[in-house]
Amino acid sequence: MKLIFFLIAIASTVVSSCGNDTQQTKENGPAIEVLSKDVYAVLSAKYDKIGDFNGGHAFVHDSNEKMGCIDNQGNVLLECVYDYILDRIEDWDVGFVMLNDAWGIFNKDYKMLTKCIYDMFNAPHDGLVTLSIAGHSKYGALDITDGSIVIPFDYYHLGDYSEGLFAAEIKGTDRNKAGFIDRNNQVVIPFIYSNADDFSEGLAAVHKYDKTVYSRLGSIPSQKCGFINTKGDVVIPFKFNWQISTLKFSEGLCAIGTSKNNDRLYEINCNSFIDMKGDVVISGLFDDAEPFENGVSRIKKNDKYGYINRKGEIIIPCQYDDYHYEKDCLCLEKDGTKYYFTYGGDLIIK
């Protein structure tokens, strides 16, 4: 569910760049260039703002700051009644609309699949999307092709559908318990853990209560983390301190947080990487790190950013103030200037 904040940040960019299509063939560009003059005149009188067209559609705003969507002929795709619209991103076949602080789902044809009754959602995976119902603390999953309920809203947490399983959480006697279910809502791995993360590359991080830690907040149960496979077998033993950050393998490595003090409750920053045997293979180079992608990991040290490769070699030193997402290269910023690099760490002249 943390992913929603990241998605909303992306959506703010999408909304500002979306627009209408040409009357016959043009799908991208400013509305005045896409729509016929007559249609543009009618819509300009109806809406306060018509965004740029992108892929044959554009977002519109009325005088009450409500949002809707039209096609390149001026036809209404989504009525102008919503507080916010999160359009289809990347490979999604659905988009989301917000009304009165609750989300609804529409399909690729801009047909509403659900009412606006949901509170939180994850990115769709394998045709399923995990959500919670607004005003409740229960999670379930929907089929994004028709909006039908696949997993009932009975769970206190539900992860993404990954490698055929959902990480799920039910209410226990003293504390909630975590396990794994399939898309038929059948228990595959029993609810015996204190916490569970999604599967990635055949392994999932699971946690067990270890002992009680005493702090200024009082007594808090401590946890140990290990990794299991999709059969429920323990592959990496429970030897890591519990973390806030999600633990997932990517390109054979998983970023973890380590602590010299075994009684420490949390390790928020990921300052090491383990392999699929649980051995620490990269450590001591950074304060925090992101999962590997395209053979590199973005790292942070002393509030500066850089990159390492899978061998643990620093290919871009931690001397940059910020980073930016680019499709085919790495982008870092220093003193207001953006620098572009190959995945091998070579500077690209732009």
HEC string of the chain equals CCHHHHHHHHHHHHHHHCCCCCCCCCCCECHHHHCCHHHHHHHHHHCCEECCEECCEEEEECCCCCEEEEECCCCEEEEEEECEEECCCCCCCEEEEEECCEEEEEECCCCECCCCCEEEECCCECCEEEEEECCCCCEEEEECCCCCEEEEEEECEECCCECCEEEEEECCCCCCEEEEECCCCCEEEEEEECEECCCECCEEEEEEEEEEEEECCEEEEEEEEEEECCCCCEEEEEEEECCCCCCCEECCEEEECCCCCCCCCCCCCCCEEECCCCCEEEECCCCEECCCECCEEEEEECCEEEEEECCCCEEEEEEECEEECCCCCEEEEECCEEEEECCCCCEECC
% pLDDT > 90, the chain: 61
pLDDT in tens, 268-312: 567 889 999 999 999 888 988 999 999 999 999 999 999 999 999
Claim: this prediction has a pTM higher than 0.85: no
Burial class (CB in 10 A: 0-12, 13-18, 19+), 234: exposed
Residue pLDDT, tens place only, 307-332:
999 999 999 999 999 999 998 999 99
Q: Residues 233-249: what's their mean pLDDT?
A: 80
Residue 108: predicted pLDDT: 87
Hey, which residues does 54 pair with through a beta bridge? Answer: 57
d(CA 59, CA 227): 45
More confident residue, 258 or 241: 241
Residues in the chain: 350
Domain residue spans of the chain: 1-87
- pLDDT band (50, 70, 90) for residue 11: very low
- pLDDT, residue 212, reads 64
Contact residues for 180 (Cβ-Cβ < 8 A; gap 6+):
165, 166, 167, 168, 187, 188, 189, 196, 199, 204, 232
pLDDT tens digits for range 123-132: 888 889 999 9
